[in-house]
Structure 1
Amino acid sequence: MTDQQHVDRQWLQAAIDLSHLCPAVKTAYAVGAIIVDRFGHEVSRGFSRETDSHVHAEESALAKLADTRVDLSGSTIYTSLEPCSVRKSRPRPCAELIIAAGITRVVLALREPPLFVTCHGVELLQTAGAEVIEIPEIADQVRAINAHLPGIGG
């Protein structure tokens, strides 16, 4: 394993651990997200339903940076679940928010299962030029955290 792969696993594990803070609901996934700048420093983190019942993890982490001048070019977002490409509760999905923020790397454990929508977040991010890295070896942790939802748990 390369140094970068080791670092990616550590940050992704931290994002998965963060998802344990999400209130469990039958209508949404529990997700954690951490943004790390190009120098390897954490600049923000968020989890699903952190600030309201509809906020997504990536959205929460990005919102905390809205009034700052943090340069996200070259940064990475670590998210336990694929960023959404379709949003029922907000006008812009998380994949679009990530692209607009200038984040160029996305590391995730699990692609979004088609329980609520058909997600194409990975494809949307890649089309925009972002590097997307999947680490499926730890996806079972994300499934376990979301075991309250049909077809994903365990």
Structure 2
Amino acid sequence: MQPAETTPPGARGPSEEDDARWMARACELARRCPPSATAFSVGAVIAAGGEVVGEGWSRAEDPSDHAEEVALRQAGPAARGAVAYSSMEPCARRASRPEPCAHLLAAAGVARVAYALPEPGNFVAAPGGDAYLRRKGILVTVMPEFAAAAEAPNAHLL
């Protein structure tokens, strides 16, 4: 795993309090996921201009939905330049659809992605979305202080 992003807080957009609030929200959303034996429960929030412009959770609208893609659908063009918060590292590979979440976030033009828990290797082999996003020039922040909250709705898998 790459080290946490080191951009000074004033240069990256939202405050540390905003980061904590929106990551906590992403972890809350993960608890809404219908349990699955074959997929993680993840929550995601997209914030721009001090406001939430999209949020979602795994399996929110369709059994194959990932949290980030639901949040991106809600956010639409407002995702460009926004910060995406995900309870788990956005996927770089997936079985259910052709485009993994890291690719969708990059294509939407998000400026930064923050996540709480690296994606465990249960369903796909690494490397994960973190490395992909960094290669695309997107700032990545790891927030391990929220790892326990991100693990909770996935306890049956971990």
With normalisation by structure 1, the TM-score equals 0.89
Secondary structure at 2:81 match in 1: coil
The structure 2 residue matched to 1:98, chosen from 102, 105, 122, is: 105
The offset of 1:61, in angstroms, is: 1.1
1:5 equivalenced with 2:12 (yes/no): no
Segments ≥4 residues shifted beyond 3 Å: none
Q: Residues 1-154 of structure 1: matches in 2 within 5 Å?
A: 4-37=15-48, 39-66=49-76, 70-119=77-126, 120-149=128-157, 152=158
RMSD: 1.4
Q: How many residues align?
A: 145
Give the SS at the match of 2:79.
coil
Is the Cα contact below 8 Å between 2:54 and 2:73 reproduced in 1? no
When the two structures are superposed, what TM-score results if normalisation uses the length of structure 2?
A: 0.87
Q: Is contact 2:32–2:57 with CA below 8 Å preserved after alignment? A: yes
Unaligned runs of 5+ in 1: none
Aligned-residue identity in percent? 42
Shift of the alpha carbon at 1:71?
A: 3.5
Secondary structure in 2 matching 1:29: coil
Report SS of the residue matched to 2:63: coil
Cα displacement (A) at 1:121: 0.2
Q: Which amino acid aligns with 1:142?
A: A
